[in-house]
Structure 1
């Protein structure tokens, strides 16, 4: 299956260290050779880079490692195709507009009977993946229930969690999703996160011989949370999310958590 990488931070932060390990999984230390993409939220802007080539071979991926774009929220994806051909239109992340905001989405997993179970309304897919179809359905559900941005973020969190639970009932559905303010992470099978804050220390990547001392490139006020399908470093303690768990990040901090009603009753 595919793998996910995300970041939420309280200051503009680059992800070149994490991407150096993550992109190795796109054809070197992992089998995810069917494309990659990364999206950055910067101020009120949004930029996205995608390539259907394996990240380990992609000149554009090398550019990302040499061009430290600083962002508050990042969503990245490396693909191992199971539904839809290997081409640019099927490469994550996907984005759409709602309420004058860029919404970004990346999915790891596979869904059964998604066309029958997920009727579309306002948004339509460009490519042929189950992932993009599910994104169009999810954003359509948000638009239907909230024609305007809700004043209460709890209502939005509840809708997203309920929608993700429905999507998980169709198969495997690990999600990173953002509107530029919040980063939503939902775990179906595999997703982990770590929050780095002062006192910062060294980190050693699993997928390549690269180490960084975050104390040398941060300030005491920095808070940075990183999410990945599998932990990226070997000398840090990552939080392993549970099936049915939704975690919401804002400016690097966990601001909300929801668990599966099915898991809670067991």
Structure 2
């Protein structure tokens, strides 16, 4: 599967340590060699780096590894292609504007027969199921909240509903952020850790690199890191139960008072849902 990495903080923070280990999974410690990308929110803007080459061999990744860009929200992705050719247009994360701010999305999984009806406002440029799913989510949000919403709980409920509908067609692990909050949906595998005082001395699982966060942080700093699998081998990471959408803000998980099982979260789809999301060829089966 593809690899996901996200970071949400209460103060602008660089992701150099986590990215050093994450980057190695793109062709060095794992077999994902079909491109990589990373997006940093900076105020109202987003700084995006994309490369269809393996991250372990990418000069752009080498730049990012040593470039301490400080951000409150970061999303990165290493691709193993399932749908769509290997190319820049199909490299995650994807970026779109909604309600006057940028949104960033990255997906891990394979949505079979996914063919939603879109209004036309959001259209994919490439030919991946991931970008199509992103356009679908934003399209539905724009229809449900024409003027936008600032309510995290309200937005979380709408995203959760969409995640369950789309996710019934296949693996749908994803990270999504509007620069204010970061949402992480797990359908099969995703975990996170919240680092805060007293900070640990952390060691990467994919690189022989250690950092003492007490030397590079203040006691009030708080950082949440989300990844497909743990990036360090000496810290306690929390697995997100499959079928759950977690929200992160100011470096910690926002409690939405829900943690459900796979059976609860993935009920059988009814005919109306199938007609909405499945391709014609699949509907006839």
- Name the TM tier (shorter chain): over 0.9
* Secondary structure in 2 matching 1:136: helix
What does residue 148 of structure 1 align with? Answer: 147
Deviations 1:136-184 (A, max 9, x none): 0001000000011225322211110010011110000001000110100
CA contact (8 A) 1:165 1:260 kept: no
Structure showing greater radius of gyration is: 2
Q: What displacement does 1:255 show? A: 1.2
What does residue 50 of structure 1 align with? Answer: 50
The aligned runs of 1:73-92 (5 Å cut-off) are 73-92=73-92
* Secondary structure in 2 matching 1:166: helix
* Secondary structure in 1 matching 2:23: helix
Structure 2: distance between partners of 1:145 and 1:265: 22
CA contact (8 A) 1:106 1:175 kept: yes
* Secondary structure in 1 matching 2:255: strand
Structure 1: distance between partners of 2:92 and 2:150: 30
RMSD over aligned Cα atoms: 1.4
Structure 2: distance between partners of 1:153 and 1:9: 16
Deviations 1:51-71 (A, max 9, x none): 000000100000001111010
Q: What displacement does 1:263 show? A: 3.7
What does residue 220 of structure 2 align with? Answer: 221
What does residue 204 of structure 1 align with? Answer: 203
5+ residue gaps, structure 1: none
CA contact (8 A) 1:178 1:184 kept: yes
TM-score by length of 2: 0.90
TM-score by length of 1: 0.96
The aligned runs of 1:1-266 (5 Å cut-off) are 1-115=1-115, 118-121=116-119, 122-257=121-256, 258-260=258-260, 263-264=263-264
CA contact (8 A) 2:104 2:176 kept: yes
Structure 2: distance between partners of 1:56 and 1:89: 20
5+ residue gaps, structure 2: 267-285
CA contact (8 A) 1:39 1:75 kept: yes
Distance of aligned partners of 1:38 and 1:127 in 2 relative to their CA distance in 1, 3 Å threshold: same
